[in-house]
Amino acid sequence: MKIKLPAPQQGDIKKVEDSQRAFGRKNYIAMACCLALIVIGFILMAGSGSSVEDGFNPDIFSTRRIVIGPCVTFLGFLLMAFAILITPNKD
């Protein structure tokens, strides 16, 4: 049994005004910047691991990987919450 949907009429599609949207342009720009911060933080934490064949690799305990990378990632997540909460300008 097929259900027939009515064909869309010319007047059915309505343009949504900017004041009715959930996010504005500032929100999307701020969220993109925060996403970039999160990705940069994960890149800072990445690196080669320590394998048994090569012996101990002290680079896994570098400041970049255990302090700076997680801080940048956490800052990105924290600022993402604020980027979502930014209210768009209402004229």
pLDDT tens, position by position, 54-89: 677 777 888 999 999 999 999 999 999 999 998 866
User: Length of the chain, please?
Assistant: 91
Tokens representing 91 are: 């004229």
DSSP state, 21?
Answer: S
Q: Read off the pTM.
A: 0.73
Q: What percent of the chain has pLDDT over 90?
A: 47
Distance CA 76, CA 35 (A): 7
Residues 80/9, Cβ–Cβ less than 8 Å: no
Tokens representing 69 are: 């990378």
